[in-house]
């Protein structure tokens, strides 16, 4: 009961005070508007932000705002206040914009004064002075800054639970372009490369710096010449070439004054710039190729890369591009694989015909000279002395070689078969070949030995084990491979070769046919009529 009375007395007392205040205002002549002001001020005292205007969004309990002037208009400067109206950043900035938060007590803002842009935090104050004409968040705690027309990079990080700024690249460059791990910097027309911490990797002295063209490398250009550097600043290809490009992941080609060279991806000079072109053989014909195209070919089909230096031909290793045959030949044929069995052991080598200063020889793919370049002529087909085909090792046939006016024979392996001492040599048939010396003919075997004396006026190649010999101007006889006379000397105008057991002869201007005994056939209906001296498989030497 007493408590209730005390409450009523208190309420009534307050009401009495309010009534007395109103009455006193009338007695003293205070205007009614002042009463409203008093009421408003009482309300403002209840609002902690009543002294501010243009209050922005709150971030972690803090917002940018302007002070309210007595006339209610916003003030000239911006600051930051908390929800209690406490000033966290002084009102001295032309603009403020929220950027980041470190903890409940530290917000980061981009600020601007009449001097420029900077960064200010609620716990540390200005951490980047307002002296920059431009300030841009590049992400990853990195900010690009510009001062006095020059660009740099700063990093906004944390120290002792507060924001701090670290200069990565001072404002010394016209342009700074950020990549994933590097910065390309520019001053005037020159470019360089800095790492993510601002350390110089490539000095800013190049006309061009390109990080994107070659994976793991940086292409550079200076004084119109190109080179290649690693992204650690190590020079791989000197800046001395008109151009360069990728052969494969292990090699680069270089070009200088229309000559080509080769560098490894480790920066090793494999070949200097000296090659004018590269080619392969395709179906026995030369085909010019680029190095990049060559590595795409099947090595089993195209194992050899031919290179040309000042008109001289050589070969490069198809895997590592080192020199196999020096570029010292006027001509180098395509290589052919030759297998040889010696004492039960099979060996294999690849051979080509080479020529220098008009002299022919034979060389293997490793550069060993199998036959020295001492032959004036080297042919596979002696039946066509006017053939324009350049010699090669592309068949298993013997090779006929000439020194001066003397001929000899080489095997398809390049070994000497018949000494170069004959006036002419034929093709082996039935194991024997016609040779000529001192205007007479005989036969040699595959050891090079003369097995049928060189004493005949003319001789045919063997066919079906028999060959015709001219005894005198009008008489012929046939011998076997042992040199034994099988068909004695008879008078014929001309003779052919045996095929299917018969041979065409001309006697008294009439064509007749004889068998292997020399007997004339009466029934010519079963004879091989197509036989003649122009058949090509058999030659008459005289």
What pLDDT score was predicted for residue 1?
Answer: 44
Q: What is the mean pLDDT of residues 177-198?
A: 94
What pLDDT score was predicted for residue 346?
Answer: 87
Q: 114 exposed, middle or buried (CB, 10 Å; 0-12, 13-18, 19+)?
A: exposed
Query: What percent of the chain clears pLDDT 90, i.e. is strictly above it?
Result: 72
Structural tokens at position 387? 């053939």
Q: What is the mean pLDDT of residues 34-53?
A: 71
Report the C-alpha gap between 281 and 278 in whole angstroms: 11
Sign of CA dihedral 518, 523, 526, 530: positive
DSSP state of 430: T
DSSP state of 182: E
Report the C-alpha gap between 497 and 372 in whole angstroms: 38
Q: What is the mean pLDDT of residues 32-54?
A: 71
Cβ–Cβ under 8 Å, residues 499 and 505: no
* Angle between helical axes of 2-28 and 32-46 (0-180°, round to 10): 130
Give 538 or 415, the one with higher predicted confidence. 415
Structural tokens at position 168? 């990565």
Q: Distance between terminal CA atoms of the chain?
A: 162
pTM (two decimals): 0.72
Structural tokens at position 309? 């230096």
The residue with tokens 């046919």 is 513
Report the C-alpha gap between 330 and 367 in whole angstroms: 15
User: For the residues of 115-156, what is the DSSP string, one character each?
Assistant: S-EEEEETTTEEEEEEEESEEEEEETTEEEEEETTEEEEEEE
Task: Centre a 10 Å sphere on the Cβ of residue 405 and count the other Cβ atoms it contains.
Answer: 9
Strands 243-248 and 485-491: unpaired
pLDDT beyond 70 at 29: no
Structural tokens at position 292? 């990049």
Structural tokens at position 296? 């795409």
Cβ–Cβ under 8 Å, residues 435 and 426: yes
pLDDT beyond 90 at 179: no
Task: Flag the least confident range among 55-69, 188-202, 292-306, 526-540.
Answer: 526-540
pLDDT in tens, 458-514: 999 999 999 999 999 889 999 999 999 999 999 999 999 999 999 999 999 999 999
3-class DSSP assignment, residue 510: strand
DSSP state of 231: T
Cβ–Cβ under 8 Å, residues 333 and 350: no
Strands 117-121 and 106-112: antiparallel
pLDDT beyond 90 at 432: yes
pLDDT band for position 524 (cuts 50, 70, 90): low
Q: By C-alpha distance, which of 429, 358, 436 is closest to 397?
A: 429
pLDDT in tens, 143-171: 999 999 999 999 999 988 899 999 999 99
Q: Which domains does the chain have, with CATH numbers?
A: 97-272 (no CATH), 428-542 (2.40.128)
pLDDT band for position 276 (cuts 50, 70, 90): very high
Report the C-alpha gap between 508 and 523 in whole angstroms: 19
pLDDT in tens, 209-263: 998 888 889 999 999 999 999 888 899 999 999 999 999 999 999 999 999 999 9
- Per-chain mean pLDDT for the chain: 87
Report the C-alpha gap between 42 and 308 in whole angstroms: 100
Cβ–Cβ under 8 Å, residues 40 and 49: no
pLDDT beyond 60 at 537: no
Task: Centre a 10 Å sphere on the Cβ of residue 52 and count the other Cβ atoms it contains.
Answer: 21
Angle at 471 between CA 467 and CA 474, to 5 degrees: 105
Structural tokens at position 108? 């980061």
pLDDT beyond 60 at 25: no
Report the C-alpha gap between 265 and 314 in whole angstroms: 24
Structural tokens at position 396? 């298993």
DSSP state of 376: S
pLDDT band for position 275 (cuts 50, 70, 90): very high
pLDDT band for position 301 (cuts 50, 70, 90): confident
What pLDDT score was predicted for residue 393?
Answer: 84
pLDDT band for position 533 (cuts 50, 70, 90): very low
Cβ–Cβ under 8 Å, residues 285 and 301: no
Structural tokens at position 354? 């080479």
Task: Centre a 10 Å sphere on the Cβ of residue 310 and count the other Cβ atoms it contains.
Answer: 9
Q: By C-alpha distance, which of 186, 169, 243, 180 is closest to 216?
A: 180
**Which H/E stretch holds residue 379?**
strand 377-379
What pLDDT score was predicted for residue 420?
Answer: 97
Task: Flag the least confident range among 126-130, 391-395, 515-519.
Answer: 391-395
pLDDT beyond 60 at 309: yes
pLDDT band for position 528 (cuts 50, 70, 90): very low
**Which H/E stretch holds residue 35?**
helix 32-46
What pLDDT score was predicted for residue 299?
Answer: 73
Report the C-alpha gap between 356 and 362 in whole angstroms: 11
3-class DSSP assignment, residue 38: helix
Sign of CA dihedral 54, 55, 57, 62: positive
């Amino acid at each position: 009961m007493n408590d209730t009375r005390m409450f009523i007395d208190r309420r009534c007392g307050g009401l009495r005070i309010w009534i007395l205040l109103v009455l006193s205002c009338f007695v003293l002549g205070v205007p009614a508007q002042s009463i409203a002001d008093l009421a408003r001020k009482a309300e403002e005292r209840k609002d902690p932000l009543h002294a501010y205007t243009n209050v922005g969004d709150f971030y972690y309990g803090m917002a940018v705002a302007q002070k309210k002037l007595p006339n209610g208009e916003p003030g000239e400067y911006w600051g930051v206040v908390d929800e209690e109206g406490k000033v966290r950043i002084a009102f001295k900035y032309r603009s403020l914009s929220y950027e980041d938060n470190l903890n409940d007590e530290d917000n980061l803002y981009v600020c601007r004064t009449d001097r420029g842009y900077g960064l200010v935090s609620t716990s540390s104050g200005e951490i980047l002075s307002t002296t920059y004409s431009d300030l841009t968040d590049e992400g990853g705690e990195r900010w690009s800054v510009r001062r006095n027309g020059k660009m740099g990079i700063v990093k906004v990080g944390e120290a002792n639970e507060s924001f701090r700024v670290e200069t990565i690249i001072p404002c010394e460059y016209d342009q700074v372009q950020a990549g994933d791990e590097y910065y390309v910097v520019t001053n005037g027309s020159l470019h360089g490369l800095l790492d993510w911490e601002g350390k110089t990797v490539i000095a800013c002295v190049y006309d061009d710096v390109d990080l994107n063209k070659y994976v793991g490398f940086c292409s550079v250009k200076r004084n119109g010449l190109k080179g290649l550097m690693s992204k650690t600043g190590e020079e791989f290809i000197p800046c001395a070439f008109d151009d360069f490009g990728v052969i494969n992941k292990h090699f680069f080609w270089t070009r200088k004054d229309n000559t080509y060279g080769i560098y490894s991806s480790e920066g090793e000079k494999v070949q200097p710039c000296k090659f004018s072109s590269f080619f392969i053989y395709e179906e026995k014909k030369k085909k010019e190729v680029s190095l990049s195209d060559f590595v795409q070919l099947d090595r089993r089909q195209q194992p050899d890369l031919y290179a040309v230096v000042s008109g001289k031909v050589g070969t490069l290793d198809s895997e590592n591009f080192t020199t196999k045959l020096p570029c010292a030949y006027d001509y180098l044929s395509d290589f052919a694989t030759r297998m040889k069995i010696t004492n039960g052991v099979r060996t294999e080598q690849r051979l080509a015909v080479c020529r220098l200063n008009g002299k022919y020889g034979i060389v293997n793919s490793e550069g060993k000279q199998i036959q020295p370049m001492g032959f004036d002529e080297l042919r596979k087909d002696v039946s066509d002395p006017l053939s324009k085909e350049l010699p090669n090792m592309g068949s298993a046939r013997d090779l006929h070689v000439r020194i001066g006016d003397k001929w000899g024979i080489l095997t398809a392996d390049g070994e000497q078969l018949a000494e170069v001492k004959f006036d002419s040599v034929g093709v082996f048939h039935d194991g024997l070949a016609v040779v000529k010396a001192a205007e007479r003919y005989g036969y040699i075997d595959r050891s090079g030995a003369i097995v049928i004396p060189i004493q005949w006026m003319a001789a045919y190649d063997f066919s079906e084990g028999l060959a015709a010999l001219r005894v005198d101007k009008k008489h012929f006889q046939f011998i076997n491979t042992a040199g034994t006379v099988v068909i004695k000397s008879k008078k014929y105008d001309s003779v052919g070769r045996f095929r299917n057991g018969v041979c065409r002869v001309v006697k008294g201007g009439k064509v007749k046919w004889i068998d292997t005994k020399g007997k004339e056939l009466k029934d010519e209906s079963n004879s091989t009529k197509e036989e003649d001296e122009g058949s090509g498989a058999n030659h008459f030497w005289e």
